[in-house]
Chain A
Amino acid sequence: MSRRSLTGRSSILRLPSAKIAVIILAIVLFFAIFGSMLAPQNPLTINANALYQGPGVHHLLGTDYLGRDVLSRLMAGTRLSVLTALEAVVIALVLGVPLGIATVFLGKWFDFAVNRVADALMTLPSIFFAVAVTAALGNGLVQAMLPIGVLLAPVFFRVTRAATLEFTSAQYVEAAELLGGSKVHVIRVHVLRKVLPTVAVTTATATAAALLAVSFLTFLGIGVQPPTPTWGGVLSSDLDYLSQAPWAPFIPGALIAITVGAVNALADAFRDRTAPGALPMLDPVIKTHSTLEVADVRQSAA
């Protein structure tokens, strides 16, 4: 709560953690777009005279077991990791958010059915499922991230549904309906706009999860053929040569951890500002109760 009063209603960029996170993500995004062009060396060039080199002048982050420049490989691998992570997030958004709003308005049975499907999807272990899907649809990162997106959708669905329920029971929505506002109008003006901040926070956390999933899948060797550089791939090849270069895995490992951490930090900052207390913004009337009671209220309303 003290953090909130420090930032007040001002930009989340006032938070130092958010500022650092934005800078890190800007760099990652820059590399995702221009990385393969700006890479100091060809990420695929093998150099037998420069195996397992530590960070130095010629190779800023050292070389791998084939003498390839690690910095260039990581820069060139950024695009695939970021794009496929976004693929999963977009799938999840497109599936989850409209359904989350629709279940509130389309009646009890629809709500019940979608909720049970969401429950079932949430129990599926996503990495196992992603690997299984590559067995069925072919070994590609685009295929592997499909199920990750589908399995992330229930998160968006639940959050959107909860927030929508929250706002549709608000008095001003009732008033808008009484004043003759159409359902579409009420959803667009009174519900969607209020739900968006919550969706934004979820998007950030889901992006972190998707990035982690991409690096993990590429670490497992799913979805890419060996010479193609990926973050996880660099990490897993370092693993086979630990006795020669024990420091090597720390570079891709740190890159993955820092990127995921930055997205998470941004999500936290955004949540603190738009939805303090991890719950979506509540009606002032309900706010006076404890959060647990609110959850119970919400559940009995559902």
Chain B
Amino acid sequence: MAVAELTGVAGAIAPRRRRGRAALSGIGGGLAVLIPILVLSSFITYSLGALSNSNPAATILGQDAATPAAVAKLDRVLGLDKPLVVQYWDWLTQAVQGHLGVSYFTQIPVSQSIAQRLPVDLSIAIGAVILGLLIGGTAGVVAAIRRGSWVDRGITLVCSVFSTLPAFVIGIILVVVFAVTAHLLPANGYTGPSSGVGSWLEHIILPSLALALQLAADIARQLRTSLVSVLEQNYIVGARVRGLPYRRILVRHTLRNASGPALTILGYDFPIMLAGAVAAEVVFSLPGMGQLLLEAAQTRDIPVVQGVVLVISTFVIVMNLLVNGALAWLNRSNRGVSA
């Protein structure tokens, strides 16, 4: 859970900065920001291997075969005798072409292991975004329309509870309620969509929901706040006076103007959701990226660790760019509406 994004303070200041920047420069400017960030974060990721005082060649060869000559030879083969920056450059150019090296222990290409496991996390993450937007969007709109009523207070209360509960706790509650007690859904395991969409959905709905509830709570709270402030604007009153139907006002004039902050939340919650996906993998025993990373960390399988972190951080960075782009687009079309 990118901890940075967890704390509200950064969220309070950064989105406005980013929105301004994105509105000015759009996706092209976004790319100019994206590439240095990608290079920096991938360098930090790669340096991890160098930081470790583990000796990969000795690890691969095993205790008996690890004579100094053999270690030196394998170091040369692996390129570990080169300076760090050169090693990093080699690794990065390979990574861009989809080669992330091979596992020290299983000799399986890292990109192959990741390709096997990424669909699990993508399934639950996309499921979670859809569920989060649906639940959070509905709750936020209902709370804003009925503001001050008991419905509003109830939604606010539930939202505060869910945004406090970490995904792994929510996941366990869902397992206990829906799988162990009610036997409605499977408690663990994963089957791909190729072996039946129904069973795939059955296996991803609980993990997705576990991730979605926090996102939904954040979206609902943000949407309610911005909807209420938009609903009190003069142009909304004006639209009502002109006799426009309430639904039209709500969708065209209010939601459009109020959805920016909620969208930002989506961008900021995405890293948290990836961490939540690891939690969901553990709670629901899903064979995903998190499990791959945990296993690799225990055995100090550095290429796997580097590969997983690289892929995940690239996802986070690209997601941020997409959200910024969407915000820029929203801002521009909003200007069109209000002009």
Chain A interfacial positions (CB closer than 8 Å to B): 88, 116-117, 119-129, 131-137, 139, 148, 151-152, 154-155, 158-159, 162, 198, 201-202, 205-206, 208-210, 212-213, 215-216, 219-222, 235-236, 238-239, 242-243, 246-247, 249-250, 253, 256-257, 260-261, 264, 267, 271, 278-279, 291-292, 295-296, 298-299
Contact = CB atoms under 8 A, between A and B. Distances in A.
B323 to A, nearest CB: 12
Given A128-B308, A154-B4, A257-B169, 17 more contacts: A116-B36, A124-B45, A124-B313, A125-B2, A125-B312, A131-B305, A136-B51, A151-B2, A152-B7, A205-B7, A216-B1, A221-B294, A235-B169, A246-B181, A278-B8, A279-B12, A299-B17
Q: Which of A152, A155, A222, A296 has the most CB of B within 10 A?
A: A155
Contact of B3 (A148, A159, A260, A295): A148
Contacts of B12: 278-279
Q: Which of A132, A148, A267 has the most CB of B within 10 A?
A: A132
Given A127-B275, A131-B293, A155 B9 contact: yes
B176 interface: yes
B313 A222 contact: no
A123 B3 contact: no
20 contacts: A121-B4, A123-B317, A124-B44, A125-B275, A125-B313, A135-B305, A136-B48, A136-B300, A139-B297, A154-B4, A206-B3, A210-B3, A213-B3, A222-B294, A242-B175, A242-B176, A247-B176, A260-B166, A264-B164, A267-B8
A135 B297 CA distance: 4
A132 B181 contact: no
A132 B2 contact: no
A260 to B, nearest CB: 6
Contacts of B166: 212, 215-216, 256-257, 260
A221 B291 CA distance: 12
Interface stretch (B68-76, B122-130, B143-151, B278-286): B278-286
A136 B49 contact: yes
Contact of A155 (B7, B20, B54): B7
Contacts of B169: 235, 249, 253, 256-257
B108 interface: no
B40 interface: yes
B240 to A, nearest CB: 23
What bracket does the count of chain B residues touching chain A fall in?
A: 35 or more
Nearest to B311: A128
A64 to B, nearest CB: 15
Contacts of A201: 9
B265 to A, nearest CB: 14
A157 B17 CA distance: 15
A116 B37 contact: yes
Contact of A137 (B45, B51, B180): B51
A202 B6 CA distance: 11
A116 B40 contact: yes
A127 B180 contact: no
Contacts of A216: 1, 166, 168, 275, 279
Contact of A249 (B176, B297, B302): B176
Contact of A133 (B48, B279, B301, B308): B48
A220 B294 contact: yes
B258 to A, nearest CB: 14
Contacts of A122: 2, 4-5, 10
Contacts of B164: 257, 260-261, 264
B298 A139 contact: yes
A213 B7 CA distance: 12
A162 B17 CA distance: 11
B263 to A, nearest CB: 15
Interface string B139-178: 0000000000000000000000000111011001101100
Nearest to A302: B17
B52 interface: yes
Q: Which 8 pairs from chain A and chain B are nearest by CB?
A: A136-B52, A295-B16, A120-B40, A205-B7, A135-B297, A278-B12, A253-B169, A209-B6
Contacts of B293: 128, 131-132
Given A136-B51, A257-B164, A125 B274 contact: yes
Contacts of A208: 6-7
Contacts of B21: 299
B13 interface: yes
A78 B52 CA distance: 30
Nearest to B304: A135
B309 interface: yes
A219 B282 contact: yes
Given A136-B51, A159-B10, A257-B166, A120 B41 contact: yes
B275 A128 contact: yes
Contacts of B197: none
Contacts of A148: 3
A132 B275 contact: no
Contacts of B16: 291-292, 295-296, 299
Given A128-B293, A151-B4, A256-B166, A123 B37 contact: yes
A128 B274 contact: yes
A199 to B, nearest CB: 10
A133 B51 CA distance: 9
Contact of A135 (B37, B278, B300): B300
Nearest to A238: B172
